[in-house]
Amino acid sequence: AILAIGLGGPGNDLRRVVMSRCTTFLEREDPPNRRKICQTLWDAFTGAFVGRDQCEVPLEAYDQLVHSVPQKDHCHRTLFWSKTKHVVHQFTQGTKCLVTLEDTLLGFVMDGLTWCGRNGSRKTFTTGCPRWTQCPLNPVRSFWGRVSAAFAASACGNATVMLNGSLATPFDPNSTFGSIEVKNFNSSRMTGLAVVLVASESDSATCENSSLQNLQKALDPALKYSCKVVQQSQIQGCIADPPLACGKCW
């Protein structure tokens, strides 16, 4: 963002982006209803971090936000990802077959944004905020932790995760997927997890990778686990020429 000058200061920029993304996402809602949902979202969102120290925002600060926005069920269509953000979002936007957190209201609105508050100030800030690893309880990281937990807890049927087969450790237990999402799977709602190991021509990605054994061990045994190596070029082909039936891509 550019320097915030004049009326209202820095907070107004963030509000404008959040409100406009929110109304865009809710395009099928009536304008009055849409305004109300987006205002509620903004109030609950800012309520989590405004006036707080930028390294002291716990995940629970976003409880009200998570509970205040409508949540759709995406049975058999939930897609998790770790270190595959770009290809995953190309895929979901191109085929509309699966749904990531960033294809839901809260994920869509906040993706790529930075925000924080300051002790003793009623304003929102978008610069001078802590970076991801600077302090664990920063407002952005806690947001993604909290909404990821809710997204995982609401998954039902057979879910999919796209992991990066070019890495030595495609399943990283310290990632958000490994440390939060897997732990929030509800095996009375979910039936299975299908790993798609996204590979490039040059690497030797295999489902026997020991980190994937660890993922399997971390899952409730009631969940049906499967894994498949899929070339990135095959996914790109799917995006360019989507199959009539979702699920026929690999």
Number of residues that bind ligand ZNA (CB under 6 A): 17
Task: Work out how close the CB of 98 gets to ligand ZNA at its nearest, in angstroms, rounded to a whole number.
Answer: 11
Task: Work out how close the CB of 144 gets to ligand ZNA at its nearest, in angstroms, rounded to a whole number.
Answer: 3
Residue 35: Cβ within 10 Å count: 15
Extract the runs of DSSP E, i.e. beta strands, from 72-174: 79-82, 157-164
- Does residue 91 interact with ligand ZNA by CB under 6 A? no
Q: In degrees rounded to 5, what are phi and psi of residue 190?
A: -90, 145
Cβ-based nearer residue to ligand ZNA, 45 or 102: 102
- Does residue 175 interact with ligand ZNA by CB under 6 A? yes
**Token pair 């107004």 in the structure block, residue:** 12
Q: How far is CA 125 from CA 30, 178, 198, in A?
A: 31, 30, 37
Catalytic residue among 97, 116, 156, 238: 156
Q: How far is CA 148 from the centre of its chain?
A: 6
- Does residue 132 interact with ligand ZNA by CB under 6 A? yes
**Token pair 């939060």 in the structure block, residue:** 180
Q: How far is CA 149 from the centre of its chain?
A: 10
Catalytic residue among 75, 135, 207, 246: 75
Q: In degrees rounded to 5, what are phi and psi of residue 82?
A: -150, 120
- Does residue 89 interact with ligand ZNA by CB under 6 A? no
Residues in the chain, overall count: 250
Q: Per-residue contact track with ligand ZNA, 69 to 88, x per CB under 6 A?
A: -----------xxxx-x---
Is 135 a known active-site residue? no
- Does residue 176 interact with ligand ZNA by CB under 6 A? yes
**Token pair 């360019």 in the structure block, residue:** 240
Burial 220-235 (b: 16+ CB within 10 A, else e): eeebeeebebbebeeb
- Does residue 154 interact with ligand ZNA by CB under 6 A? no
Is 75 a known active-site residue? yes
- Does residue 100 interact with ligand ZNA by CB under 6 A? yes
Residues taking part in catalysis: 75, 156
Interacting residues toward ligand ZNA by CB under 6 A? 80-83, 85, 100-102, 111, 132-133, 144, 148, 175-177, 181
